[in-house]
Chain A
Amino acid sequence: MRKFRFLPTEENFFELFDEMAQVLVDAAAALNDLITDYQDIEAKAHVLREMEKRADAFTTDICTRLNTSFVTPIDREDIHALAMSMDDVLDYIEAAADRMKLYGVEEPRPEAAELSASLVEGTKIIKTAVAELVNLRHIENVLKPCVEINRIENQADEIQRRALARLFREEKKPLEIAKWQEIFDRLETATDRCEDVADVLESIVVRNA
């Protein structure tokens, strides 16, 4: 027999976060595919645009439920901050794909693939950490992945640095430089946003431990 619940269920938020984390993982994989198998760009960028809309819908859904929930498993502002920070990651992933399409990039520079690989790794780790949120008794299971995400961000920083050095050294057309400066910036900022998700996660577990 189903237990009668006096209070509304709490686990919905965690389920929503898990699903949203999966969207991030899928989007990073789609971006990586776009860059490493550079064809049908229009179609691939379109798929990413759709994913970004899905993430937006999740964020809206989370905010709506937040307004109608009487009790929340973690602080309201944390739920809000987490949803927003995850949404930000997707915005930059989508922006990177969009710029490549928009600027008519003919062939991605190799460092773009390195950065998208970092994003694949980073979003997978976010998913692991988010899945552990439901059990705040083992905060190490959230904190350890957060350290990993920081490491990936540092690594992406180095990749971007190397990419820019080579870009200015080898590329002679200023407009090409301007395009790639922006694309690299979007890719690297996406990893910064992964770090912001880690910051929110850290702050949640630290406070609720």
Chain B
Amino acid sequence: MRLVPRQDSFFDLFDQQVETVNKGAKALEDMITRFTDIEDKAFRIKATEHDADEIVHNTMRKLNTTFVTPLDREDIHALTSALDDIMDFIEAAADRMVLYEIDEPTEAAIKLSQILAEATELTRGAVTALRDMKRNADKIREACVSINRLENRGDQVNRAAMAKLFQQHDKPMEALKWREIYHNIETAIDKCEDVADILESTVLKNA
């Protein structure tokens, strides 16, 4: 019997949050590659973003009421904020697809969404490994290196895509729409790199 309700640990909350982020990135990839039920899928990504917000809120509340924390307070705060940023840009990208009434995806959008999904999968692996940081130090570091590599690839894809967009003079409106969508996905990938940076420094300090 439990006398007090079970409380999620910081690691439980990180796991929940990174699961949610990964789910959001996969949903965006699915939305862009299969390109069916766009509005419905965007709506669900929005709901996922709300779930993620709720987890950030719980983490912050726990941080404010916990005396001894398993990681430095500033690292917990930074990690939950950076994961939240990824989710925000995923949601913004999905939202703009609907808002701009995009009727078919571009190759670059598909590629970027795949890179993002891969990056969040690696992020998920690295964040869930934090719980046993000492044993997983190498695994976390390797994941961080791979995330950095993906971020570089995202950059390249984005740049090539922008060059192509602005060479097509016949559809300026489409170019302006896609520019913003690419920017959102690319920034979500950048934010995965921010998470990786935080993880690397946390591991350095604690493992």
Contacts and interface: CB of A to CB of B under 8 A. Distances in A.
Interface in B147-203: 172-173, 176-177, 180
B74 interface: yes
A209 B172 CA distance: 53
Interface residues of B, number: 17
A33 B180 CA distance: 28
A177 B180 CA distance: 12
Given A143-B64, A199-B81, A202-B60, A207 B74 contact: yes
Interface in B78-121: 78, 81, 95-96, 99-100
Nearest to A75: B74
B134 interface: no
Interface stretch (A21-29, A92-100, A160-168): A160-168
Contact of B173 (A139, A168, A202, A203): A168
A203 B73 contact: yes
B84 to A, nearest CB: 10
Contact of A199 (B64, B77, B95): B77
Contacts of A168: 99-100, 173, 177
Given A139-B64, A143-B64, A161-B95, A203 B78 contact: yes
A8 interface: no
Interface string B63-77: 110000000011001
Interface residues of A, number: 16
B73 A181 contact: no
B64 A203 contact: no
B73 A177 contact: no
B180 A174 contact: no
Contacts of A177: 173, 176
B176 A202 contact: no
A174 B74 contact: no
A178 interface: yes
A146 to B, nearest CB: 9
Contacts of A165: 99
11 contacts: A161-B99, A168-B177, A174-B172, A174-B176, A177-B173, A181-B180, A202-B77, A206-B60, A206-B73, A207-B74, A209-B64
